[in-house]
Chains A and B, each alone.
Chain A
Amino acid sequence: MQRLIDRAKELLADGTVVRVLGWKKGDLGFNPEPAYFETAEALDSDFIYDGFCGANLSKYMIEASKKDGKTLVFLKPCDTYSFNQLIKEHRVDREKAYIIGVGCKGKLDIEKIKAMGVKGILSVEGASMDSECETLTVKTLYGDKEVSYNEAMLERCHVCKGKEHQIADEVMLESRDTKDAERFAEVEKIEAMSPLEKFEFFKKELSKCIRCNACRNVCPACSCRKCVFDSTKFDEATKANVDSFEEKMFHIIRAFHVAGRCTDCGECSRVCPQGIPLHLFNRKFIKDIDTFYGEFQAGEDTETKGPLTNFTFDDVEPSIVTERG
């Protein structure tokens, strides 16, 4: 981590960048926040990069692109897909970004640790980038607990897209292979359900939704200046979860809106206060797109047109080639 701080200070000092977008230490040891740093002192005292820095900083670059001067941004391998996609959509300015592709050993989910019954967490040891990432020692008000690093990882890390950064000016720190599950396994499980079972599955999950909009607001693909759900002409569907129908509409419409552009960064599921596996909607779309149009990964580059925005006469007719049920 010190290497990241030193490099950031160099780039600030030589005028390459005027600010650094990274993560700032939290007050509980596991709640860092995305932050801008403008001085060497601030970097020294507050910068952190460890297993809890899951936040994808790409979307913050939309605002940073509007500021004067270059911003140094730290992007993990999976974050770079989002950044590319944002370039493609003309939401961020490549020229305003100096990207350090930063290694990743799998990001941790404090909610998963809590779900293991660990209460009163004061600090977590073993989450730093120079640790082995095998065991976490969780210090709590009720004694120390040992937790497996892998079991405490975010879902997205188990289906990691790989250690390669898709865009970067330079790369620092080693990444670790964390993939130990099939990306579409969960989707296939749902596909195998009967229509009623599917409906029950999503009804149960979505009944938890509180319409806080965290999933939308964190999503790099949701970069519309004015979201359809904030429109005053769309009164009944906004804010309130009037009934379960509204909840489902929100998430389904959102999944449609980001289809073909979603990089599967997993931020929606990471931020959901109710732990709804929202990524499943998007991943189903990705799987279908792969099936119909050939494998496609949004954000792999900044030029290729997405299959849903690139009509060809060879395109399949999804309703004809597949049976819906």
Chain B
Amino acid sequence: MYKINKENLSALFSLIAEANELYVPVSINGAVNFAAWDEDVQVDLDTLKTVKSPKDAFFPQSETLYSCKRNGKKLSITPEELSSKDFVVFGMKACDVKGLAVLDKVFLVDPVDSYYKARREHGIIVSLACSQPEEACFCNVFGIDASSPEGDVQVYMIGDELFWNAVTQKGEKLTEQVKSLLADTDEAKVEEEKASIKAIVERLPYSNLSLDGWGEDAVLLDKFNSPIWEELYKPCLACGTCTFVCPTCQCYDIKDYNTGNGVQRYRCWDSCMYSDFTMMAHGNNRTSQMQRYRQRFMHKLVYYPQNNDGMYSCVGCGRCVDKCPTGLNIVKVIKAFEKGGNK
């Protein structure tokens, strides 16, 4: 266990940035999102949750897969270079780190997505314990410990100090790079902090949310055919806010961008909430917003767990709770089914 005074954070960041690309939570006119660090950005480690989850460091909102050029009848294809430089994402919370585990089960299973894999291999996660969990947090419901986030290095911010604990080999390597700024310390303060976080988590309004009836053993068609969906979806605007702020949503679209000198085939985040998501030349198999709304939550709470040994595709970060323009969210879905007796 090491520590560093918060005053030296900027020095720490520049040292990390010497050998790695560095992403940190950055505030732009009040909105905090992960962004590339440089000396001019306004780093914000106090805001608990970035608006967007940091998943786009590994699965960018938009990325070119390959370029195509046509020369008469001939075509040539040039794959995009894969990520080959180590990068550090500093300040990921426990829920967001777990979000990557959810994405891994999609992108790292055969056939492996090489774009994502390259970023996972080169990405180093410095996770930050949540000293002040907030009202919309319910990561504990999914067995996530906000006081001890996974990652390559765990960091705790206590008072004026930042405590640094390398967990993996990647973390050890990063620690070596910045050791000149770190001082040895014991774990007493961190243990105290962990206990304090755990006590707050117990008092969170959603901490006792029950997942009974969902997951691997859910009766899929009972849930699917429940009339409760019809009650729940109505205020839904069919926007993609919940999807795009979510650390586990992974649906994407593949599209062409005509550069005027060839075509870049890129992929971008997509949302099952959008009306054209399943639209094809001869029709659409989900024509109503109720169906699309149901798809999103069934996927997170039933389909994904049934395909992945019970692991939920929700990590309880609460971003959808915070950000839905009409106050809908996954917690309301879980509660409505509990109240409606469909367990």
Residues of chain A touching chain B, judged by Cβ–Cβ distance below 8 Å, are: 26-28, 31-36, 55, 60, 115, 119-122, 140-142, 204-205, 207-208, 210-214, 216-218, 230, 232, 235-236, 238-242, 270-271, 273-276
Residues of B at the A interface (CB closer than 8 Å) are 28-31, 33, 48, 51-52, 61-62, 132-136, 200, 203-205, 234-235, 237-241, 243-245, 253, 255-258, 266, 268-271, 274-276, 279, 321, 323-328, 331-332, 335
**Bound CA–CA A230/B136 (angstroms):** 32
Neighbour of A28 across the interface among B133, B205, B270, CB < 8 A = B205
Pick the contact of B136: A28, A210, A239 (CB < 8 A): A28
Contacts of A27 in B (CB 8 A): 205, 331-332, 335
- Are A33 and B328 in contact, CB atoms less than 8 angstroms apart? yes
Chain B nearest CB from A266 CB (Å) reads: 13
Q: From known contacts A235-B256, A236-B257, infer whether A115 and B30 are also in contact, taking CB-CB under 8 Å.
A: yes
| Cβ B327 vs Cβ A242 within 8 A | no
Residues of A within 8 A of B238 (CB): 213, 217
Q: Within the complex, what minimum Cβ distance (angstroms) separates A134 from chain B?
A: 24
* New contact pairs (20) apart from A119-B132, A142-B132, CB-CB < 8 Å: A27-B332, A28-B205, A34-B235, A119-B48, A141-B133, A141-B134, A141-B203, A210-B52, A210-B240, A211-B61, A211-B244, A212-B239, A213-B240, A214-B237, A241-B61, A241-B62, A241-B268, A271-B325, A273-B51, A275-B29
Contact A239 B29 (CB under 8 A): no
Report Cα–Cα, A271/B327, bound state, in Å.
10
B239/A26 in contact, CB under 8 A: no
Binding site secondary structure of chain A: loop
Q: Classify the interface of chain B: helix, strand, loop or mixed.
A: loop
| Assembly CA distance A28 to B332 (angstroms) | 10
Residues of the A chain whose Cβ atoms lie less than 8 Å from the Cβ of B237: 214, 217-218, 271
The answer to whether A240 and B266 touch across the interface, beta carbons within 8 angstroms, is yes
Is the Cβ of A230 less than 8 Å from the Cβ of B132? no
The answer to whether B204 and A217 touch across the interface, beta carbons within 8 angstroms, is: no
Contact at B51–A33, with CB atoms within 8 Å? no
Q: In the complex, are the beta carbons of B200 and A214 less than 8 A apart? A: no
9 closest A-B pairs (Cβ-Cβ)?
A: A240-B268, A271-B325, A33-B327, A214-B239, A217-B237, A31-B327, A240-B62, A212-B240, A34-B235
Do A204 and B327 contact each other (CB < 8 Å), given the known contacts A119-B132, A236-B256, A240-B266?
no
**Do B240 and A230 have beta carbons less than 8 Å apart?**
no
